[in-house]
């Protein structure tokens, strides 16, 4: 089978073996999604959730409310997440920009064409390609494919890109391999695969449901 057929088969198998997590269908606002994504940088999922919960207990997470509280209060909520001082300053600055430049909402950005919206988001403090693409895919339903550390690793082990490929090369490759309507589910399912089986250390190739579709998995099974 060719590469696109293999990608589609991988997606089919992942859908059979994983259930999309509950948070996928949550009703978070775009600004809450931005805040969570900033908190998640260099932080575990568990600590990201705890930090956001701490913040949410203090006040409703809106740009207006973040402007009203001190940086110290934000730091206290984010302390569990690591790099909390820097993240608190970034969130304070983001709130200021969203209120002053965009009227307290990201919707005006989301209405723009994909690349134009992406360029504006990338100009915001603390917003890199992954954060921008998460916002555009999750909140604006734009056809882009965020690449996190799990997807980076899985894509290389699957042989979709070589080991030196950077963010943009991986993003473009996966966008070419999958249909736009599948970007969201493929993004989530590849992350779940990376967490459960295709781990950074000691990948569980023998148990992996797609090992027959993976060059690394096939090789390891052959040499077992």
148 in active site: yes
Distance CA 74, CA 91 (A): 8
Select which of 93, 148, 156, 182 is catalytic. Answer: 148
Of the residues 130, 133, 142, 173, which is catalytic?
A: 130
Lookup: tokens for 120: 């504006």
Inter-residue contact 67 to 92 (CB < 8 Å): yes
Q: How many CB atoms lie within 10 A of CB 218?
A: 13
- The residues assigned a catalytic role are 130, 148
């Amino acid at each position: 089978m060719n590469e696109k057929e293999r990608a589609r088969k991988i997606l089919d198998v992942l859908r059979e073996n994983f259930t999309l997590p509950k948070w996928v269908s949550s009703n978070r606002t775009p600004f809450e999604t931005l805040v969570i994504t900033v908190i998640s940088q260099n932080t575990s999922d568990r600590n990201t959730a705890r930090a956001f919960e701490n913040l949410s207990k203090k006040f409703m997470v809106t740009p207006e409310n973040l402007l009203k509280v001190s940086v110290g209060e934000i730091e206290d909520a984010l302390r569990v997440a690591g790099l909390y001082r820097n993240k608190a300053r970034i969130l304070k600055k983001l709130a200021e920009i969203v209120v002053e430049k965009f009227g307290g909402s990201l919707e005006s950005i989301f209405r723009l064409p994909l690349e134009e919206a992406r360029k504006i988001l990338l100009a915001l403090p603390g917003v890199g390609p992954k954060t921008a693409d998460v916002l555009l895919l999750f909140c604006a339903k734009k056809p882009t494919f965020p690449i996190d550390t799990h997807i980076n690793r899985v894509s290389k082990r699957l042989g979709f890109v070589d080991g030196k490929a950077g963010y943009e090369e991986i993003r473009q490759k996966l966008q070419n391999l999958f249909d736009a309507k599948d970007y969201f589910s493929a993004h989530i399912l590849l992350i779940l695969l990376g967490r459960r089986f295709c781990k950074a250390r000691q990948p569980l190739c023998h148990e992996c449901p797609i090992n027959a579709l993976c060059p690394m998995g096939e090789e390891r099974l052959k040499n077992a």
